Amino acid sequence: MITFRVQIEMKDEAWEDHVFGSGADTWEWWHSFSLSQHGDVMIKHWYNKDTEELQEDHGADLPFIFYTKMQAIADAASDYAAESEFVRNQLVNDDFDADGMDRVLQYLVFGEVLFA
């Protein structure tokens, strides 16, 4: 079998649109995503990595916070695309939807895709 490693370049604004415009934040394990003027990304989520439980009853609980950069999300997309044909096709076709970006973010934030 022949394997290709392809480098894809994308403007910052286009990648931001994929990440923040995909609708991935609509899944119940995400609270919110935000991008600071300095390029820092704050991802708030309801998955407790210590207990490996989704805190479905948010009540008075505060969400967990994960800090990252846009490049780290792109790196996670590249790494996960090697494992997932679904994500690979979205990356190659420059067309991330909520499901694809959700899986990339889970891979980055949780270390694996838990909810598919």
Report DSSP letters for 3-29, one per residue.
---------HHHHHHHHHHS-GGGSTT
Give the pLDDT of residue 114.
96
Q: Which domain holds residue 60?
A: 28-110
Is 9 contained in some domain?
no
In this model, does residue 57 exceed pLDDT 90?
no
Strands across the sheet containing 40-45: 30-35, 40-45, 64-69
The reply to whether 4 falls in a domain is: no
Type of residue at 21: G
> Is 22 a member of any domain?
no
Residue 1 domain flag: no
**What is each CA distance from 103 to 23, 59, 62, 115, in whole angstroms?**
12, 26, 23, 8
Mean pLDDT of 6-21: 91
Interval 86-97 mean pLDDT: 93
Burial of 63 (C-beta count, 10 Å sphere; 0-12/13-18/19+): middle
The model's confidence at residue 41, banded by pLDDT at 50, 70 and 90, is very high
Residue 69 included in any domain: yes
Give the per-residue pLDDT at 109.
Answer: 98
Other Cβ atoms less than 10 A from the Cβ of 19: the count is 21
Average pLDDT over residues 18-31: 95
Number of domains making up the chain: 1
Residue 13: CB atoms within 10 Å:
7
